[in-house]
Structure 1
Amino acid sequence: MKRTVSTDEAPAAVGAYSQATTDGDLLFTAGQIPLTPDGDLLDDEPIDVQTERALDNLAAILEAEGAGLEDVLKVTVFLADIDDFEAMNGAYAEYFDDEPPARSAVQAGALPKGVGVEIEAVASLESADE
């Protein structure tokens, strides 16, 4: 049965979506942008800083369900400019080092609020139950 997930440690949903949904086995996050939980938009920061903020938001949502980045199975990274891939990847590698999840990275036509990166993930909650 589907259940929505929400935490004050990540930016609140600002539209007709949830921070994440789960069926108890898998967790699907909404795309996370470089927006702080307090509402500060980091759109003018370098892409590595934007990537770190988006991943911090993602980690907070996972933590709300007792999971962590090590439980992530698949990540999709949307970049406003694919030329930012190397800088994004450098920051991303700091979060996923030993056994990184599967990942796709694509250039999007435009991202919400004019940011440079948006990141979504699918995670297993199996180890969170143990």
Structure 2
Amino acid sequence: MQPINTKLAPEAIGTYSQAIRCGETVYLSGQIPLDPKTMQICSEDIKLQINQVLDNLSAVCEAAGGSLANIAKLSVYLTDLSHFPLINEAMSRYFVEPYPARAAIGVSALPRGAQVEMDGIMVLPSSNR
């Protein structure tokens, strides 16, 4: 197992790595909408929070040698499932087909008062294995 960490994404706020690489598979830890420079929630605006989470995930993917396009499974946690259409809207900008398999889970609360968190499983492209 190889830990993956980058300063371009928020540092872990607990006892975990930003990602762990096991062979060609990378397990991406949950990202909340923290600004990597300030370690504060980027905004109260859910659209900006979703974008920040995807930017954070993208930075970790790149540190591992991949990109969002290599995510095979994405889990999305929302404190308000009425925001689900905004997830689809953002994913249409950040991802290309084939889209990853995905789950959307409603939760009562997330760390630091975030409204959204995402984690995923990425399979590295053959050139980076």
Shift of 1:128: 4.5
Q: Which residue of 2 aligns with 1:123?
A: 122
Q: TM-score, normalised by structure 2?
A: 0.93
**Pairing 1:65-84 to 2, within 5 Å after superposition:** 65-84=64-83
Shift of 1:113: 0.7
Structure 2 unpaired stretches of 5+: none
CA distance in 2, matches of 1:23, 1:72: 14
Root-mean-square deviation (CA, aligned residues, Å) is 1.3
Shift of 1:43: 4.5
Shift of 1:88: 2.2
Shift of 1:87: 1.6
Flag as ranges the 4+ runs of structure 1 deviating above 3 A. Answer: none
Q: Is the 8 A contact 1:43 1:116 kept in 2?
A: no
Q: Which residue of 2 aligns with 1:41?
A: 41
Shift of 1:24: 2.3
CA 1:52–1:71 in structure 2 vs 1: closer, same or farther (change >3 Å)? same
Q: TM-score, normalised by structure 1?
A: 0.92
Shift of 1:78: 0.2
Give the counterpart letter for 1:40 in structure 2.
Q
Counterpart secondary structure, 1:90? helix
Counterpart secondary structure, 1:70? helix
Give the counterpart letter for 1:78 in structure 2.
Y
Q: Is the 8 A contact 2:69 2:96 kept in 1?
A: no
Counterpart secondary structure, 2:11? coil
